[in-house]
Amino acid sequence: MRLLNGRAILELKYVGEAPALFKQLADTFQLNPEPVSKYRLAIPALGLAPQKGSDAPTELLSA
């Protein structure tokens, strides 16, 4: 199962300003930081909520 077609999540954690190594990684690999919720991506992918624009029921499935 793929959550992001042609994309990946690289999570780098730090306090304050990004370390020089993280900045170098972003420059080297032309990474564009953006907020993303892995939880919110997983819910519809796992069938626990409908995809946007689908005709699926709107309630969450119970476990």
Q: Which residues contact 22 (CB under 8 A, 6 or more apart)?
A: 12, 14
Q: Which residues contact 4 (CB under 8 A, 6 or more apart)?
A: 41
Integer Cα distance of 47 and 37 in angstroms: 16
Indicate the domain borders of the chain. Answer: 9-47
Integer Cα distance of 63 and 47 in angstroms: 11
| Sign of torsion over alpha carbons 30, 35, 37, 40 | negative
**pTM of the predicted model as reported, rounded to 2 decimal places:** 0.54
Structure tokens of 29? 């690999």
What pLDDT, in 10s, does the model give residues 39-58?
A: 888 888 888 886 666 555 44
What pLDDT, in 10s, does the model give residues 2-47?
A: 677 788 888 999 999 999 999 999 999 999 888 888 888 888 888 8
